[in-house]
Structure 1
């Protein structure tokens, strides 16, 4: 039978006119809830200058969530490495790993996570194409590992913590690099599903065993909403549909209350664009989600799923994660 490890990816979504504190408090409550349900990880994304997402200070949020939980692994999904000096990332995550031993993960991406003006505000080189990512990654991993003879700069804390690193991506670049380095790979199918299967194939094709992994380990982020009935789940699904519609329209991407129908909310071109972003979403009752989950696992062979569950009401989100755990358990 199929088996999958369940984890959560959180973007700390805000409701209209809500303070960031309210959204962060819901994220903490969610992490505590899924910890009790046996989820393996709770990861937080990095986005900057996007109204409606309170996940810009990723390392700070990780520490806050880790302090409020006991056993679940907490990490980044991910830190956009070109936005930061590798030494700063090593120091931040080395500090987190020192406070919360064996519970901190470092997921790394190479996208900016925002637009050009924000990139400038982050002091990034606007000519950057992401091609320097392998060098930045090597430097960062060097700071987190054992010191080398003649090394002048050290991450304190950070050195010898060997914080587990996962590469994130929505294309073949990070997939190939993760394979070559023998690192876990996580694909962002929750917003860019088009290259899912080719990227997984590329990762496995290029995989070389390492001190980290003896065989490939694939994760995938996908939108998931589970409710008592298919109709109820589809109703709740209009919230992430509205979020992506707002993103397309360059509007605030807050969590909006579900609507009875999206007709009249979007036009045909917008519907097509949103549907393309959410193509891999698994939405429905426990029975429907169990079937769709099994189909997804058979199609991709991933070992771990990061569920992205955006609902307006917190109670619906917590219930969805509970029903998802039951659905995944029925597969084993």
Structure 2
């Protein structure tokens, strides 16, 4: 079987311990420039709030910054948490981005808050913080780009925005967005990097129930996965301890900046924490190029993904760049199989 897997970047703009958001943005710019050169298809940024270790809260602003310093890689959101925002504002923001960088902007949408409930309340200033109104918000947003979708919103128009063909993706970690994106004929991105157990069922549901649309004639699924590659399995495992520490601090309700790697991280983890970590990070692919190639090929076969979006949380910026470079090499090798 011959593969043709696109590969992309999911960047949370991590803030390292001892550094600032300004340092994080410099690293994101450098990462975007390098991954564009290495053949990555998209560079997506994710909306999070009240997280001391993540600098991508003003996601649309950062997308514009990354698009400005690159020339060909697609840049977008992975994702904008739509219930946090007015759909009109998002239409105007992404209409502006698409007008500035034609043909390069993606709008990935999620229905989770991207934060804790108290912060969600502060963001939304209302009682509807569960995401139940996501389908209605999505219809409104799409109507600002194409008023024929729902004429009810015709009296309020998005300039810039109206008439622009900006790809809209639905993001999910369960079957809700899988079902909705299938129904609407939209591309779907699944967050296997923190919800591995639901990956295959959600992708199967999406593909089995997909209805062709004027945007997409067949299902297109992208899967997020944690990948950390180094010269040896031991080095990659050491580097991955920063990712483990981040999730561990979240489990302990002590979110922090990205911590440096440590030896023997597992010795400090309680059994119940280990269970949660496995549930969230179980699909992570960590190791030498040989190890990662074998595991990634198996992951692609199992998920039948059309595209892989790579999340690589490494404290040392040079090691992070090296991991992305090696991952691109591995995916090119996989695409040349057969």
TM-score by length of 2: 0.95
- Provide the C-alpha distance between the structure 2 equivalents of 1:177 and 1:149, rounded to a whole number of angstroms: 21
Q: 1:2–1:297: 8 Å Cα contact kept in structure 2?
A: no
1:42-98 residue CA offsets vs partner (Å, 9 max, x unmatched): 000000111111111000000010001110000000000000010000000000000
Q: Which residue of 1 aligns with 2:162?
A: 159
Question: What SS does the aligned partner of 2:124 have?
Answer: coil
Shift of 1:3: 3.2
Q: Give the superposed CA RMSD.
A: 1.4
Question: What SS does the aligned partner of 2:66 have?
Answer: helix
Q: Choose 15-24 or 66-75, whichever is displaced more.
A: 15-24
Number of aligned residue pairs: 332
Q: 1:227–1:285: 8 Å Cα contact kept in structure 2?
A: yes
Question: What SS does the aligned partner of 1:241 have?
Answer: helix
- Provide the C-alpha distance between the structure 1 equivalents of 2:298 and 2:109, rounded to a whole number of angstroms: 28
Shift of 1:293: 1.1
Q: Which residue of 1 aligns with 2:24?
A: 23
Q: Which residue of 1 aligns with 2:142?
A: 141
Q: Judging changes above 3 Å, is the alpha-carbon distance between structure 1 residues 206 and 195 closer, same or farther for their aligned structure 2 residues? A: same
1:3-51 residue CA offsets vs partner (Å, 9 max, x unmatched): 3111000111111232111011101110111000010000000001111
1:219-239 residue CA offsets vs partner (Å, 9 max, x unmatched): 011100011111111111111
Shift of 1:124: 4.2
Q: Choose 19-28 or 113-122, whichever is displaced more.
A: 113-122
TM-score by length of 1: 0.97
Q: Judging changes above 3 Å, is the alpha-carbon distance between structure 1 residues 176 and 124 closer, same or farther for their aligned structure 2 residues? A: farther
Q: Which residue of 2 aligns with 1:231?
A: 234
Q: Which residue of 2 aligns with 1:262?
A: 265
Q: 2:46–2:79: 8 Å Cα contact kept in structure 1?
A: yes
Q: Which residue of 2 aligns with 1:176?
A: 179
Q: Choose 125-134 or 71-80, whichever is displaced more.
A: 125-134
Q: Which residue of 1 aligns with 2:283?
A: 280
Q: Which residue of 1 aligns with 2:249?
A: 246
1:280-319 alignment to 2 at 5 Å? Answer: 280-319=283-322
Q: Which residue of 2 aligns with 1:100?
A: 101
Residue ranges of structure 2 left out of the alignment (5+ in a row): none
1:103-150 residue CA offsets vs partner (Å, 9 max, x unmatched): 000000000111122112112433443221111111101101256878
- Provide the C-alpha distance between the structure 1 equivalents of 2:208 and 2:125, rounded to a whole number of angstroms: 33
